[in-house]
Amino acid sequence: MDALDRRIVNGLQGGFPICERPYAEAAAELGTDEATLVARLKALKAAGTLSRFGPMYHAERLGGALTLAAMAVPEDDFDRVAEIVNAFPEVAHNYAREHALNMWFVLATETPERIPDVLAAIEAATGHTVYDMPKIEEFFIGLRVEA
């Protein structure tokens, strides 16, 4: 990454305009031109520096639901349980973490009513208790990763 890439990653985490030539408008603010900005964004995506470029939607305001859930899985059963959990299409992310609660996953469903159904199905399929930890209040979702 050079200085322009850093300006793009740091400067374009929000506020991208909605107009006919948005890359041209954003490029002018970043001190470059439309073609260069489009090429840089393609390269940053291809390199995996950016996982996405575009609108970030708010799941609950689309009528959908998210929750964070955790399980305490015995080490010798961990791979089997991970395979079962990951096979649910509603499971968007799943992380192993160091704690008695050692498997943490995010569910995303089209409606709030689906969340308890999917959690119950995961409990039934794995034989382990699922602890549901939906957000009660959100304080911040980061905008500020410095490249």
Which residue's CB is nearer to another protein, number 63 or number 124? 63
Q: Does 3 help bind another protein (rule: CB under 8 A)?
A: no
Whole-angstrom Cα distance, residue 111 to residue 134?
14
The pattern of x and - marking residues 81 through 100 that bind another protein according to CB under 8 A reads: -x--xx----xxxxxxxxxx
Q: Does 41 help bind another protein (rule: CB under 8 A)?
A: yes
Which residue's CB is nearer to another protein, number 124 or number 144? 144
Nearest approach, Cβ of residue 70 and another protein (Å): 8
Q: Does 74 help bind another protein (rule: CB under 8 A)?
A: no
Beta bridge partners of 71: 103
**Using CB under 8 A, which of 2, 14, 76, 113 touches another protein?**
14
Whole-angstrom Cα distance, residue 1 to residue 145?
15
CA distances from 67 to 5, 33, 64, 87, 146 (A): 34, 41, 11, 17, 27
Nearest approach, Cβ of residue 6 and another protein (Å): 10
Q: What is residue 147's DSSP assignment? A: -
Check if the beta carbon of residue 78 is closer than 8 Å to that of residue 95: no
CA 97 to chain CA centroid, nearest Å: 17
**Using CB under 8 A, which of 2, 3, 51, 74 touches another protein?**
51
